[in-house]
Amino acid sequence: MEKRSGGFATGVAEKPIRVLVVDDSAVARRLLIEICERDPALQVVGTAPDAFVAKQKVEELHPDVITLDLEMPGMSGIDFLKRLMRAHPTPVIVVSSYTQRGTAVTLEALSLGAVTCVPKPHMSSGLSLSDYSAELVDQIKAAARAKIRPEQSDRPAPATSLPGMHPLQGEVRGIIAIGASTGGTEAIAHVLGMMPGNLPPIVIVQHIPPSFSKSFAERLDRLSILHVKEAEDGDELKPDCAFVAPGNRHLLVEKRPGRAICRLSDGPKVRYHRPSADVLFDSVAEHYGKMAAACLLTGMGEDGARGMLVMRQKGAYTIAQDEETSMIWGMPGAAVRMEAATAVLPLDGIAPALCQWAVRLAGGAKK
């Protein structure tokens, strides 16, 4: 297997990343320890079988990254995470089951400030142990560099109540494409939560395990006035609707006489990802050209940067999230370095900018 570095150098002089493994299963703890200890850039400094022991270990060891099982006896992983983010904000990788409850609590953990989620080792969607190990190590290295922002109690109100963000007037035209990875679940929720009505269709690629994408789309639907769903092959792209790529399937768009639709593909991974923002952006560029907008939000790696450059070259409006507000400035940073971004904006500025673009496209911009 080709070696993956996650885009981070791990020079000999660097201190190892100190990892605390929290899981009530002794078997899972042992396997996670073995995976971490195979990489000289990681050092497991402690383990905990429950949240109470984990709390003590955090205070004693001050780990750089915590892997956290959410379903444990006594204090739940969610309660531990809430307390951790108040007292000792630390990058957390959720190691979760794929049960219905597992997906719900994992999304809650991400909203509380967890960096990302990975499946339990024995639920790794057919990945070999070496692939699973590479994925986990990459995520730990990324998490160690993440900007941790605890849960925000002041989530923006629906866009229709924000000054200057009323439903747009005029004919709805074009399409908006969004790509994100690590930290993206909350960044996407933030952007969609600020959107008004009468917007072009939105297509979204978020790197997320397969069993989480449907629940993620349902959560976005609850947080936004837009209709958000997990994309299905043949879904018609309509105004005020957003479509989330299913985990492990590429999302593309296709124009047909009088309408446009979603297409799903099981094609090969691109930059280790399926779905891939590059694949989505390429298809949007092909079918929409200058009638499209795209934004790359927080995420590890470079997926989407090349596709965004293709979109910009065809006249699309392109936005990269800025470094200050990104949990990890990998994907948007790559777009900036490639000069693929028309604008580099903080997270709060992205929805207004997309709305202004949509107004201009509809020919209804106010002077």
Which are the catalytic amino acids? Answer: 181, 207, 303
Strand partners, 294: 177, 318
Per-residue exposure over 120-136, b if at least 16 CB sit within 10 Å of its own CB, e if not: bbebbeeeeeeebbbbb
Nearest alpha-carbon partner for 92 in 37, 149, 31, 53 = 149
**3-state helix, strand and coil shares in percent for the chain, rounded to the nearest 5:** 40, 20, 40
For residue 214, give the 3-state DSSP assignment: helix
CA distances from 6 to 19, 134, 143 (A): 18, 9, 11
134, 328 contact by CB (below 8 A) = no
Amino acid residing at 101: R
> Nearest 5°: phi and psi at 208?
-155, 145
AA identity, residue 185: T
Nearest-angstrom CA–CA distance, 220 and 227:
9
DSSP-assigned beta bridge partners for residue 96: 119
Would you say 180 and 242 are in contact if contact means Cβ atoms under 8 Å apart?
no
Contact assessment for residue 31 and residue 5, using Cβ atoms and an 8 Å cutoff: no
CB 315 within 8 A of CB 361: no
